[in-house]
């Protein structure tokens, strides 16, 4: 069997560019790999050549899994940067394996019945090599995806979900929020009873945003409560003043709390989605 395996390896190595060109022509027009259609042909051919020439090293290596990484990780990084979806990158590998065997068959590499039977045995080795590459490409894609997500969410996680305000125990959060709400009530009472036209309600956005960051949409209770405090106080102490401005402020409290709460719930769901893929 070793002789037939060597026969296949020699063919792949010597005809790497020819096989790669046939693979590139297929993958760049195949309906399951549309993202490859706009790529440079030279780039795609180079990927094929690199793999086919690496095939001997992988086949003869004591630890072929480690040897495969030199191709797999580079393949994953390059096509991740080209924004090619993982399923297309993997299907391109399937086509790469298919063209390898189509070329060998077309060249009449395995002629006799015995050769074909033993060629099937060497096929198992070929499949194993591609399985290694497919696994490693998927692993690298996941790593790159997680790095991209963490980078894009870095500011949010640092300033909104970091240890400074996001790492507090829920009991402390509730106590702190209670203090802020009491302070908001006192501030509202003082300004309304004094008849001052000071736009103090901007300070209310501090507890509103904190509640949304800590509890997501569940934190909507805080802006609703602040809106009630503002309208109730106005009704009691500013009966002669128009309600329009305070009603608008109360509505904005609720809108702000809802938007930030929805965004934070989305961020948390995204983190949960990618949690299993963290390496």
The model's pLDDT over 37-86, given as tens digits with 9 standing for 90+, comes to 999 999 899 988 888 877 777 777 777 788 788 778 888 888 888 888 88
Mean pLDDT of the chain: 79
Same-domain check for residues 129 and 228: no
Same-domain check for residues 134 and 168: no
Q: Which of 124, 148, 172 is the last residue of a domain?
A: 148
Residue 270 located in a structural domain: yes
Same-domain check for residues 34 and 166: no
List pLDDT tens digits, range 222-249. 999 999 999 999 888 887 788 888 899 9
Residue 272 located in a structural domain: yes
Same-domain check for residues 113 and 172: no
CATH of the domain at 115: 1.10.490.70
Q: Which of 148, 175, 202 is the last residue of a domain?
A: 148
Residue 153 located in a structural domain: no
Indicate whether 253 pLDDT > 90: yes
Q: Which of 148, 179, 198 is the last residue of a domain?
A: 148
Domain that holds residue 39: 2-148
How many domains does the chain divide into? Answer: 2
Mark 135-157 as b/e (b = at least 16 C-beta within 10 Å). Answer: ebbbbbbbbbeeeeeeeebeeee
Residue 261 located in a structural domain: yes
Same-domain check for residues 6 and 137: yes
Distance in angstroms between the alpha carbons of the first and the last residue of the chain: 39
pLDDT value, residue 206: 93
Residue 35 located in a structural domain: yes
Residue 108 — very low, low, confident or very high, per pLDDT cuts 50/70/90? low
Residue 279 — very low, low, confident or very high, per pLDDT cuts 50/70/90? very low
pLDDT value, residue 164: 45
Other Cβ atoms within 10 Å of 223 Cβ, number: 27
List pLDDT tens digits, range 256-275. 999 999 988 887 776 666 55
Same-domain check for residues 22 and 135: yes
Q: Which stretches of the chain are DSSP H helices?
A: 2-14, 16-27, 41-60, 64-81, 86-106, 113-152, 154-159, 170-193, 205-215, 221-237, 244-274
Tokens of 77: 């990084």
Same-domain check for residues 120 and 186: no
Same-domain check for residues 67 and 168: no
Same-domain check for residues 81 and 198: no
Indicate the angle between helix axes 86-106 and 2-14, nearest 10 degrees. Answer: 110
Same-domain check for residues 140 and 172: no
Residue 9 located in a structural domain: yes
Residues 6+ apart with CB under 8 A from 165: 210, 213, 214
Indicate whether 145 pLDDT > 50: yes
List pLDDT tens digits, range 162-200. 444 545 678 888 999 999 999 999 999 888 888 665 678
Indicate whether 204 pLDDT > 80: yes
Q: What percent of the chain has pLDDT over 70?
A: 76
Same-domain check for residues 126 and 183: no
Same-domain check for residues 32 and 130: yes
Q: Which of 12-16, 114-118, 198-202 is predicted with the least confidence, judged by mean pLDDT?
A: 114-118
């Amino acid at each position: 069997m070793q002789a037939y395996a060597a026969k296949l390896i020699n063919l792949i190595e010597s005809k790497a560019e020819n096989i790669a060109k046939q693979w590139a022509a297929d993958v760049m027009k195949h309906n399951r790999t549309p993202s490859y259609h706009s790529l440079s042909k030279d780039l795609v051919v180079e990927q094929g050549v690199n793999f086919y020439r690496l095939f001997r090293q992988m086949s003869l290596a004591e630890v072929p899994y480690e040897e495969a990484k030199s191709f797999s990780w580079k393949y994953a990084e390059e096509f991740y940067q080209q924004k090619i979806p993982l399923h297309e990158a993997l299907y391109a590998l399937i086509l790469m394996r298919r063209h390898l065997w189509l070329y060998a068959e077309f060249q009449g590499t395995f002629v006799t019945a015995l050769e074909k039977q033993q060629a099937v045995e060497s096929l198992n080795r070929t499949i194993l090599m591609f399985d290694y590459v497919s696994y490693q490409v998927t692993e690298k894609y996941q790593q790159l995806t997680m790095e991209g997500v963490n980078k894009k969410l870095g500011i949010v996680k640092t300033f909104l979900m970091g240890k400074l305000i996001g790492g507090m125990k829920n009991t402390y959060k509730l106590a702190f929020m209670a203090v802020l709400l009491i302070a908001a009530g006192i501030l509202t009472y003082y300004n309304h009873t004094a008849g001052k036209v000071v736009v103090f309600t901007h300070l209310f956005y501090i507890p509103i945003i904190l509640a949304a960051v800590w509890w997501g949409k569940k934190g909507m209770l805080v802006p609703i409560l602040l809106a009630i405090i503002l309208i109730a106080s106005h009704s009691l102490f500013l009966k002669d003043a128009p309600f329009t401005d305070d009603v608008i402020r109360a509505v904005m409290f609720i809108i702000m709390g809802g938007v930030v709460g929805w965004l934070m719930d989305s961020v948390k769901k995204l983190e949960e989605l990618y949690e299993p893929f963290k390496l």
